[in-house]
Structure 1
């Protein structure tokens, strides 16, 4: 293997080469050859230049003082797998069995190469490359794959548990005999006066900076046509449950197993609030166990994903050459790269040169605590129906208040059948019937339906020679006037 940083790389402490360009290995004229030209460090060991044979001041492959050789502490050498820590180097995990590092032969609690569980593979796979790699600043740490389900415990009632949430059908609901509720008569809503309609229009104009207020103050009202919009809403509050295997780094947490685990629907968990969507995670009792980390094979660390375990990277500033170009008085010159000090390589900043990083799964603990996670999600399913007979857009009715003409809350509601507007009765019957079977994976906890009566007034007016209308709706007296006659005041321009 070539020396590090490579043949033909100028010394980081010597003088720059006398000619521009890069020194070839064959000995181009004007550049010091490999055989030992005067003034240039040869391969045989000239001071101040890196050589293969052990030159002072540069790290040779054989172990010169001041540079980590193949077995030096804290540096990945070539003595074991290519480009990976050698066997027996102090301070670095060797392949032969140092404490805390998974050996090839099968240390206790570590799956050896000959018998790792199916699916249990490190988060970063492949052999350590024989050459340094280029840095990719956008590289992200890979995600560890899930272990094989064969490694997980088989618990009664949880036979089909995986690593993704699996929805569980709720227990059957036995509907008891219900009687139709007694319902009160529907009251009418108040109407607005001409003065209230004008005040609402003036307020509407003031909320639009380019609208002129003259028409709102001067227009003549010909007629006020009051009506009511009806807004029916059905809410079904359901509870869904799902389970999956979950894990966390084992830091000495208690692992208590007192018998078989309870069923997923046997765990009591009241909803925090009715008719409000929320979620809760619960560890299923008697399902916890401790297992070796599948991502690092119980070592607590993984091979560095950025440098692929070599501990160093090509210097991106000089592109691995050890020098950079600059111009002085129009002449192109070379000098030692200030980012790598002429080495052409830099210490990997992700692993700090060790070639390994803390395992992202176990956080260096070597073991994982596994358990079944129960996720309870309470969902409020809402559907509505609006009856509005004028030209006012229906969706505007949802955003305003009105008179609550009817409200009923029951575990199972009866469709409305007494409302004066038959379309509301029909909509209630359809929605209640749909919700009875629309959410088969949830347990229905409560239902609520309401009818709001929203006042709507269509105001017919005359302004100069124009005749038109606008709407005032809701208890807030909101205005819908798309054809207001003065929508651009003086000084405004449309680009």
Structure 2
């Protein structure tokens, strides 16, 4: 056949492109398909060397394409939950293009466009779709499970016994910084800014250093949350742990330990005894769906000649029609996505025809951190979070006691408030552990004078970080402050 010959010139010729009604009777006695062409001669409008698509795929005879999955089906039979008489999903192939059993009529009612579509190589691919929820098995303890994660409240458990309040030691004092340390810290701060001048840092006279301490209280609540949902994957013959192996355990009956305490982690696992094999709903267990690029026609309109088969050229002072070299005058070209077949591998089952469906349990370990900062100078409080200090207090327990012995009463009040809030803040999680700390961060406010400029800067943290918003030489020659 001349490959340049247009396909589907009439609805009943070659690859189905319009409304077609055909009757097929299967393969009698394992021989040639009834109604095929003698001598395996392909009809006009088909591709040489291939069997014509006659409402079903070659070798597909009333069952699952490729035969019974390796290892057999669970329960000793074929997959449960088949879809007898279900229409083919809209936009994904031929209506009722399913299994040919005996004398049936296969129809295409407007599924394939009557005209060639414009070629768009950037058309988004189809995405896998979830099976119908009503086809999923009923599993005790998971009756309301869908395909989206549903948070599960933990079972009621006794409040963790705190026992007696632990004995807490007194808070030690912090070292102070000298004038030399303050000047060296300021010079380092100036060196980190390209437009800062170091003359002021070298020449300024330090009048006074006022030492103080900032307190940073943190409370960590480490909790575990569980959510369940239906999940699916292509069935490739992998083992199936179904209800025949016993009842499914409850979502909170499955023992799992956190990989690391006070660290955010997530794990997924298959709930035992909930798996089953279902025929793919997207392709009706055929393994193929309609091509999303050519909409099943196998050909697309040539985008160089816009489907005309020729291009206008200006030659010898006249406009002439020149045969398009891209489509060879046909006005159409083979779809590069499906190679002209009009069908592609099913994206849901990846061509395996069946799906393994099971209940997926998502376990999420989350570390919830809240804090409170006490800092009584004009320096912004948030700067205290990013520097180190002295760890004055740390406790870890299933449930912690609020801090009540700290010299600063604001820390004691903040601890009482945050501990009470965190105890009821996460009803869908099981609290595994709590930990709270108090850090003491040294802060020094340095008062200085440079020429006629009187101001101050701050040195804080064990790293001797500097906060100097009023530094007098913040721009050098040629720079301007925006």
TM-score, length basis structure 2: 0.82
| 2:209 aligned residue | 224
Secondary structure of the residue that 2:188 maps to in structure 1? Answer: helix
Pick from 121, 132, 150 the counterpart of residue 89 of structure 2.
Answer: 121
> How much has 1:234 moved relative to structure 2?
0.6
| 1:157 aligned residue | 141
Is 1:70 the counterpart of 2:55? The answer is no
| 1:91 aligned residue | 51
Secondary structure of the residue that 1:435 maps to in structure 2? Answer: helix
Structure 2 residues not aligned, in runs of 5+? 23-33, 37-41, 43-49, 68-77, 94-109
Pick from 187, 195, 198 the counterpart of residue 202 of structure 1.
Answer: 187
Instruction: Find the aligned partners of 2:297 and 2:80 in 1 and give their Cα distance.
Output: 23
Instruction: Find the aligned partners of 2:421 and 2:391 in 1 and give their Cα distance.
Output: 24
Pick from 230, 233, 240 the counterpart of residue 245 of structure 1.
Answer: 230
Structure 1 residues not aligned, in runs of 5+? 1-53, 64-68
Secondary structure of the residue that 2:292 maps to in structure 1? Answer: coil
> How much has 1:329 moved relative to structure 2?
5.4
Instruction: Find the aligned partners of 2:82 and 2:388 in 1 and give their Cα distance.
Output: 69
| 1:481 aligned residue | 468
> How much has 1:80 moved relative to structure 2?
3.9
Is 1:401 the counterpart of 2:371? The answer is no
CA RMSD of aligned residues (A): 2.9
| 2:308 aligned residue | 321
Instruction: Find the aligned partners of 1:394 and 1:212 in 2 and give their Cα distance.
Output: 27
Higher RCO (C-alpha under 8 Å, 6+ residues apart): 2
Is 1:100 the counterpart of 2:50? The answer is no
| 2:119 aligned residue | 135
Instruction: Find the aligned partners of 1:371 and 1:62 in 2 and give their Cα distance.
Output: 43
Structure 1's 331 and 218: CA in aligned 2 closer, same or farther, altered over 3 A? farther
Structure 1's 112 and 153: CA in aligned 2 closer, same or farther, altered over 3 A? closer
CA contact under 8 A between 1:87 and 1:96: conserved in structure 2? no
| 2:151 aligned residue | 167
Structure 1's 360 and 445: CA in aligned 2 closer, same or farther, altered over 3 A? same
TM-score, length basis structure 1: 0.80
| 1:185 aligned residue | 170
Secondary structure of the residue that 1:373 maps to in structure 2? Answer: strand
Instruction: Find the aligned partners of 1:316 and 1:262 in 2 and give their Cα distance.
Output: 58
Secondary structure of the residue that 1:199 maps to in structure 2? Answer: helix
Instruction: Find the aligned partners of 1:400 and 1:76 in 2 and give their Cα distance.
Output: 72
Instruction: Find the aligned partners of 2:466 and 2:341 in 1 and give their Cα distance.
Output: 70
Larger radius of gyration: 1
| 2:25 aligned residue | none
Structure 1's 122 and 243: CA in aligned 2 closer, same or farther, altered over 3 A? farther
Please list, as runs of the form range in 1=range in 2, the aligned pairs for 1:334-373 lying within 5 A after superposition.
334-373=321-360
Is 1:464 the counterpart of 2:451? The answer is yes
Is 1:304 the counterpart of 2:274? The answer is no
> How many residues of Structure 1 are paired with residues of Structure 2 in the alignment?
425
CA contact under 8 A between 2:8 and 2:17: conserved in structure 1? no
> How much has 1:161 moved relative to structure 2?
1.0
Instruction: Find the aligned partners of 1:221 and 1:482 in 2 and give their Cα distance.
Output: 17
> How much has 1:317 moved relative to structure 2?
1.3
> How much has 1:81 moved relative to structure 2?
5.6
Structure 1's 132 and 101: CA in aligned 2 closer, same or farther, altered over 3 A? farther
> How much has 1:113 moved relative to structure 2?
8.9
Q: Deviations over 1:24-73 (max 9, x none)?
A: xxxxxxxxxxxxxxxxxxxxxxxxxxxxxx9x99737799xxxxx935xx
CA contact under 8 A between 1:340 and 1:346: conserved in structure 2? yes
Secondary structure of the residue that 1:223 maps to in structure 2? Answer: strand
> How much has 1:137 moved relative to structure 2?
3.1
Structure 1's 109 and 165: CA in aligned 2 closer, same or farther, altered over 3 A? closer
Is 1:289 the counterpart of 2:276? The answer is yes
CA contact under 8 A between 1:80 and 1:95: conserved in structure 2? no
CA contact under 8 A between 2:79 and 2:277: conserved in structure 1? no
